[in-house]
Amino acid sequence: MRKRPLEAEDLFKLKLVGDPQVSPGGDKVAYVLTQMDLEKDGYTSSVYVSDWRDAGKQWTHYHSGERLVQDKHPRWSPDGKLLAFLSNRTGKEQVWIMPVSGGEAQPLTNVPQGVRQFVWSPDGKKMALSIRGDINTDQEETTKSDVKQVARLRYKADGTGLFDDKRLHIYIFDLQTRHYERITDERFDFMEPVFSPDGMKLAYIGSKAEDQEWNYLPAIWLYDLKTGEEQCLYQGQGRIQGLSYSPDGRWIAFVGHDKGEISSANLNVWVVSTQTGEARNVSEHLDYTAEDVIGVDAKYDTGRLRPLWDSTSTNLYFVATVRGDVRLFKTNLSGEVSGPHSPAGHTITSFDLIDDDHAVFIQAHPHSPGDVVVQSLDKIEDQKQLTDWNGALLRDEIALSTPEKIEYTSVDGWKIEGWILKPYGFDPNKKYPLILQIHGGPHTAYGNGFHHEMQWMAARGYVVLYTNPRGSHGYGQRFVEACVGDWAGKDYEDIMAGVDYVLKCYDFVDEAQLFVTGGSYGGYMTNMIVTKTNRFKAAVTQRCLSNLYSFYGTSDIGFYFGKWQLGGADLWEDEDKIMAFSPIRYARNVKTPVLIMHSEQDLRCPMEQAEQWYVALRRLGVKTKLIRFPDENHDLSRSGKPKHRLERLHHILNWFEEHRERGKSN
């Protein structure tokens, strides 16, 4: 039987896995399976456990008529007898616990605000919890005013909303007495707690700096659980995340950089001595960022990537984005990096070590959003796939397009990587329209993951082109920082050179039927493209930027992100320079029909950016429509409500179909 084309509604049939956690004895692995519920318009997740033979069994079962239940973040007790996880079964997320020998899960915490993170102590008698606010004083008041008072520069965040005065604190929770003890300063935020191997110290991340509102540079803190004393172990000079204690207690590893509060720097693996506070970069010779930045719309991995130690405390495993892949690498304390220790053509979204010789990954590729895979660390070819949650749908039922990698030369002789998807039922003798997709960031990347939206476009008869212009991660530090201070400059040339390359090399693409879309920075670039050229029949700009001057004061990150991304341009000294980067200045050049799609709760690229662009184009007589999605944030296309995600997809292709000339391409 001939396989059918992918449909928009197939998005809701996907089963998304993540966060593998190996049991202390190495005999089991727990992971999370997430699914979309179209009827209830949300997401559900459960914890599964495998004994390495197959996908294993579902361990958490809970149904609620009131809410969509998400069980996630499974963590084994140190003796392997208990499995704890976060669940929203009672409303706010709490820590739940269940015996491995069998029995029902029971709530362990009952915090009004809910628990953000938790970690076991080495003896299994305590947990460190991350909680926003003071659990003793922050009880709800029936007379509380709904008026918001703002007295912080960083007072909101996309996906969170407006902050109140409650800070993110670390608590020590005693499992026997159920007593909570807050250990961090109430005036500041602290996160990512991790116990020392002997259980005597707790490390966490935060800042007490006076200027942190303007320039946030976190530090690593050590808290002595016996004396109650806190010390700053290491003051960072850039990002810090993913703390990981060495088994011998001598080192704390983390992922970060020392380039300030910027995203145009490669993240590296660092280690800091717990005795002296001396820090060193142990992956600096690998010119790739130590994180997963590959953008897809079919991933719901709640696991947090961090470097993991082997049992000898001398080697660390970590992932890095390498061109279009996310692969596993190893480094030692001397900074000697080896690998990759995972295959090309894939992306690892989270992982854990089984022992010094084996690891377990969540591994995705262009025909799979990810499965649980076990692999020898020395033999890449020695892999065993434990799960196949989407095989019956994506392999056996649907005909997916296989990305064809391209490489072409852009300005300055720079080589640019990209991919094309051919349409369903492809006939080389026919002509097809092309959709150009542009990623956001600008420092994210496209690559070898499963992208439902692009596959659907190919299924509907379009060639899909997506590229990684300069500014993308995965090609080295010089490449990723090349768009800073040059937005829509040479990165625009890279993108358009890709279009020209495809038109020259693939005669089945109809050059009179070109369309363009992108989100976030991709939306900004879509706006700039239609001010520079009329070669596209129609454009869809999503969660876009149009006025970088107003962006400075309305975005949750605008006041610092905008300044360093535009080469240090600030509001009062560089108004003309900022506006020169802004699409709205060139709105009079636009002739292309533009569909604008934006989320009303987007605080990263606020709704006013879409409104300004819409009003400008409508005033100028450009065919324009504005689609507003209520109760959605910047991540609509990745984690928004399923019904909105479906409607979004139809709006995009309906706009292109409306402007597609059927007589010129099939």
Residues with a catalytic annotation lie at 520, 634
For 357-508, where are the E strands, in sequence order? 358-365, 368-376, 383-385, 404-409, 415-421, 432-438, 463-468
Is residue 204 within 8 Å of 185, Cβ to Cβ? Answer: no
Q: What's the CA gap between 330 and 332, in Å, rounded?
A: 7
- Alpha-carbon 271 to chain mean position: 24
CA distances from 517 to 423, 459, 504, 655, 656 (A): 18, 17, 21, 11, 10
Nearest CA to 95 out of 122, 77, 68 is that of 77
532 φ, ψ (degrees, to nearest 5)? -105, -25
Q: Residue 130 in contact with residue 120, Cβ under 8 Å?
A: no
Give the residue among 144, 195, 135 at the shortest CA–CA distance from 169. Answer: 135
Helix ranges restricted to H, 436-482: 452-459, 477-480
d(CA 511, CA 558): 37
Measured CA to CA, the distance from residue 85 to residue 77 in angstroms comes to 11
The neighbour count for residue 382, using CB atoms within 10 Å, is 11
Angstrom distance (rounded) from CA 442 to CA 576: 22
Q: At what angle do helices 521-532 and 490-505 cross, to 10 degrees?
A: 70
Q: Which residues of 423-442 are buried (b: 16+ CB within 10 A; e: fewer)?
A: bbeeeeeebbbbbbbbbbbb
Tokens of 426: 């492809």
The whole-angstrom separation of Cα 627 and Cα 610 is 9
| Residue 179 structure tokens | 């007593």
What radius of gyration, in Å, describes the C-alpha atoms of the chain? 25
**Residue pair 603/157 in contact by the 8 Å Cβ criterion:** yes
SS3 content of the chain, % helix, strand, coil (to 5): 15, 35, 50
| Size (the chain), residues | 666
154-181 burial string, b = 16+ CB within 10 Å, else e? eebebeeeebeeebbbbbbbebeeeebe
What whole-number distance in Å separates Cα of residue 664 and Cα of residue 657?
13
Dihedral pair phi/psi, residue 543, rounded to 5°: 40, 55
**Considering only CA atoms, which of 246, 247, 335, 342 is closest in space to residue 292?**
342
